[in-house]
Amino acid sequence: MCGEEGGEEPLHGASRTERTPVSAAAPAPCLPAEPRLWRELGAAKVEVGAPEGTMAVSVRSWLANEAGKHFVLMLWLAANTWLFLDTYLLYSTGQQYHYLYQMLGLGLCISRASASVLNLNCSLVLLPMCRSLLTFIRGSHTMSTRRMRRLLDKSKSFHVTCGVAICIFSAVHVSAHLMNVVNFSASFSEDFPDLNLARYKGEDPKLIIFTTIPGLSGVLLVLILLLMFISSSHCIRVCNYEIFWYTHNLFIIFYIILMVHMVGGALKYQTNTEAHPPGCLRSSQSLQEADDLDQKQRCKEDAHFQPHYPQTWLWVSGPLCLYCVERLFRYIRSSHPVTIVTVIRHPCDVVELRMLKKNFRARPGQYILLNCPGVSSFENHPFTLTACPTENKETFGIHLRIVGDWTEHFAHLLLPQPRAALEILPVVHQRRYPTLYVDGPFGSPSEEVFNYDVSLCIAGGIGVTPFACVLDALIERWKSFRLQRLYFVWVCRELQSFYWFAELLCALHEKLWKENRPDYLNVKLYVTQKDCQQSMSELRYRPLAARLQVGRPRWKLLFDEIGKCNKDKRVGVFCCGPKRISRTLHRLCNSVRSSGATFEFNKESFS
């Protein structure tokens, strides 16, 4: 039920159609001349104590990282359980359902209980997908604390959890209702003809299903749900995002049918339980059938039944309206095309794009969705901003890596093609860029880098883009943030990749040294290509060449070092890279703090 365009989570320049994992070679560390702070990380010094493999979970670290998510999960489970049990008991013990329960049995209670759980989940599932609303909540520091903002990072997981719950309870609901239909047919009631759904005793259950509104709408709902569920498997999302996106957009039909599902009133309740207490003697019954005269009294009137007022729309209409308003807002906001100011080609298939848009405001770490009708009318691809508009410059920029057909075609439209034509006089062409629409910006976990005293940013390959924006903001006004120290680790496969932001890193490094804060920024670069012998030879990139190591980083040593230097502080760990790295880092953050600092893990999530 996610109503997102083709590209929901930032890929930082990599298109969704293909993915090339950043593989790492075996470490062959060399020790270049480095500032004293980092020298201890050399491979020569081996930690005495726990080897890299065993990392026991520390309660305090685990609580710092996982407690919030699990608390919300417990709340959600409790709400579902309470709803289920409450509805179950209502239908199994309620006086007004006595006769219906007699006819249908257990199936009635289970189907109604699962229906109320479904109501709750169908309404909750839309809320995490209101991106602009979540970005607004994340941005307003008065409304949210850091803990709540960290919970917002998990909105997609919550959406998936609700979705899975919908599928499971739909299965339960459908099975219970199938039992009900069979019982409606088999226990056709002659005494209370109003209560029946079947037209005659022994009517074929299939006929009942396909000729009543609840039955037919139920079948359609199950089909749509199955289509949506099957095409949202990880494999299809990774390989063919469009299939996932277009089938998921069927949610609107799902909700419309859901709201008419109860029309027709298959299940009825008794309205006059005082006048006709269930189990009383009816006028047609004789006294001999009654065992005890005192207990069973005579019915004053016949039982009257009334179908339920459909309730689903009460649950669902609020979030649905909110979501539709949000989509409309985003559509209006992105309807003006942006002006492309510059296009720069970088090594390793990266293109930098600088754009201009009126009233565009963004914070470092946020991402945007690009739509280029010249490439594909319906595809939207996410890219993290690498430069935000400030008072001094109004342009904003992205770095996109050419992987997959959309980015290839887009880059082809942007970059000047090598001309084979012979031109005697150079002709100045007005460069005609394609029209481009930008939706966003949307919030991401990397916005929190400035809200810690000490932050550790770990980037893998093109995953450096959110941190590049952070560095860009630091150059302008590093004094105005709460951040006191930034550790920046960048792991790339090839040396040429570092040239994407070499200027930025050196400029920031130089500025901080000039302003007598050399310990503010600590850069560590790793190149993992096995046979990488050359280093960055340019004079102006000497600070980077001095901080470059060949081989994979040793994370435990890194964490211990940072912990020792920042005792009793909360260090924000921000990871944007391959899953392998983020899993290792997550485990490290939760593990034993022998060194004194608490590491809070924040991850940029991919689709």
Chain residues in the site for other proteins (CB under 8 A): 17-19, 175, 178, 182, 205-206, 209, 219, 222-223, 226-227, 230-231, 233, 235-236, 239-240, 242-243, 376, 379, 405-406
Cα–Cα distances (Å) from 411 to 244, 247, 347, 462, 600, in that order, read 25, 28, 14, 16, 37
Q: How far is the CB of 376 from other proteins (least distance, A)?
A: 7
- Dihedrals phi, psi of 523, to nearest 5 degrees: -100, 140
Tokens of 232: 């949202």
Q: How far is the CB of 219 from other proteins (least distance, A)?
A: 8
Q: How far is the CB of 185 from other proteins (least distance, A)?
A: 10
- Residue indicated by tokens 């002709």: 427
Q: How far is the CB of 349 from other proteins (least distance, A)?
A: 16
Cis peptide before 373 (omega within 30 of 0): no
For residues 236 and 252, which CB has a smaller minimum distance to other proteins in the complex?
Answer: 236
- Regarding beta strands 521-527 and 548-550, do their DSSP bridges make them parallel or antiparallel, or are they unpaired? parallel
Tokens of 81: 């359980």
Cα–Cα distances (Å) from 376 to 37, 242, 336, 413, 490, in that order, read 50, 11, 17, 12, 33
Q: How far is the CB of 211 from other proteins (least distance, A)?
A: 14
Q: Where does residue 29 rank: exposed (0-12), middle (13-18), buried (19+ CB within 10 A)?
A: middle
Handedness of CA 108, 109, 112, 117 (dihedral sign): negative
For residue 390, give the 3-state DSSP assignment.
Answer: coil
**DSSP letter assigned to residue 96:** G
DSSP symbols for 337-365 = PPEEEEEEEETTTEEEEEEE-TT----TT
Q: How far is the CB of 18 from other proteins (least distance, A)?
A: 5
**Alpha-helix runs per DSSP H in 261-391:** 312-333
Own/partner contacts of 308-311, CB < 8 Å, gap of 24 or more, are 308/262, 308/265, 308/267, 308/268, 308/269, 310/259, 310/260, 310/261, 310/262, 310/263, 311/119, 311/262
**DSSP letter assigned to residue 249:** T
Handedness of CA 501, 502, 508, 511 (dihedral sign): negative
Cα–Cα distances (Å) from 2 to 69, 122, 246, 264, 328, in that order, read 20, 11, 10, 29, 15
- Dihedrals phi, psi of 568, to nearest 5 degrees: 60, 30
For residues 148 and 239, which CB has a smaller minimum distance to other proteins in the complex?
Answer: 239
Strand positions, DSSP E, 10-90 = none
Q: How far is the CB of 160 from other proteins (least distance, A)?
A: 17
Q: How far is the CB of 106 from other proteins (least distance, A)?
A: 14
Q: How far is the CB of 236 from other proteins (least distance, A)?
A: 6
Q: Which residues pair with 437 in a beta bridge?
A: 371
Q: How far is the CB of 377 from other proteins (least distance, A)?
A: 10
- Dihedrals phi, psi of 446, to nearest 5 degrees: -65, -10
Residue among 506, 586, 579 nearest 538 (CA): 506
Q: How far is the CB of 172 from other proteins (least distance, A)?
A: 13
Q: How far is the CB of 549 from other proteins (least distance, A)?
A: 29
- Please calculate the CA angle 545-551-552 and round it to the nearest 5 degrees: 115
